[in-house]
Structure 1
Amino acid sequence: MLEVKDLTISYQKGITVIENLHLVLEPGKIHGIVGLNGSGKTSLLNAMYGLVPKKSGVIYWQNNIATTQKMAYLETHNFFYAKMTGWEYLRLFQLKNPQFDIHQWNALFDLPLQKLVENYSTGMKKKLAFLGVLALDRPMLILDEPYNGVDLESYSKIQTVLQKLAQQGRTILITSHIFESLTVICDQISFLQHKKIERMFVKGEFDQLEQEVFSFLNQQSSRLIDDLLNDKS
């Protein structure tokens, strides 16, 4: 189990993006996080993985301080070294986990591993990075927008892989701007708003979550549009 307790994240000029946030993620489940742009989703994931400093708070894994050795993190924008082939990229992960079979796993996405990654499409790069995350074979997977740029077939394959990993007892945390991609796979979804988790919804409550999110968005948009039209008149 992963537990985030009293997490606060602040950036320069005293801007606080996450404040006293609490979150508990049970193993063997797929957890989603939704929130508006700028709500702090990526900042939260970065802090969980240790990429940004915490102002306060503790993150536990199985009642011990969490370390990156227990996690694999797929960032929204993936970094690849120049002049590196897809095969060379996956070999870096295979060195850490010799049991990872590059050929067998690549049969899933059929990537041109002998070509330079810099010539890959956006979707191909996302699939390559996803394979790298799987190669680490960690009990906790953190996935920030894992479906960006992938085609429908690859989207379905990623969903299936995540479901089977959860069945094996992995803990999976996903963010996505595609609401339906979370509701069809997640066991529970947390709504991040006002710098904290406002509420956690379980299956059977996702319709209510969708109504709350889109109702809030519609209210904001309606006020803005009214102001713009009134100014124009």
Structure 2
Amino acid sequence: MPKEAKPLILICEDEKEIAEMVADHLEGEDMLPQMFHRGEHAIRFLKSNHANLMLLDVNLPDTTGFQLIEELRQNNIQVPIIFVTAHNSEVSKVKGLDLGADDYLTKPFSLPELTARIKAVLRRTETAKDQLITNNVEITEKPFDFCDAKVNPTRMEIEFPDGASEKIGRKELGIISYLVSYPNTVLTRRSLIHAVWGVHADVRSRSLDQYVVKIRNLLTAHECNTDIFRTVHGVGYIYDPV
């Protein structure tokens, strides 16, 4: 049985001794730490890589932790964040949490407490992801119509006019939901990939097209109207119900 991947924890901290101490401790806790001493380097990494969590100081040589978290959110980078900082005023704590941080720990701190907080945030993050089918679909969403069929996200299935029903996968459901969210609009392949696989996903258009073929074949097999779900050659797709 393959081992579970170690969570990647970014440490964005200007004091190198503290960063190295935390990194050594996290390695012993079966986590994979990566250190950054400047905010710009952390941003650059996160624009093209996934991390499970970031430990973020307020004071950085090139920016502040508050500015950094705002830039992350502006770039739609939703990495969980724990502030680890000497700023212990109530104003700073409230600001950090209001900006979207998941926790706020003040220096000095104990390493066991830091570990406990990291694990708590990781658990909450995973629980929240359980509600997601793709980036744009939650399992709690209500059924909706698509090409004469009814799509049920909770059951992850499509009910057809002929009375049959078929299970569908997360990617197919994500594609259909995104198309229905933007009717009568030409959606590029890239926008669909970002919506379903994520902004940083390395997915080729051919993979998307293969999923679209699966959706069309399923609809055609149950005599649904696929004329309103069209390919716009060289661009992407359009769902044109009216």
| TM-score in terms of structure 2 length | 0.23
As a proportion of its length, which structure holds more strand? 1
Q: Under a length normalisation based on structure 1, what TM-score does the superposition of the two structures give?
A: 0.23
Please tell me whether Structure 1 or Structure 2 has the larger radius of gyration of its CA atoms.
2
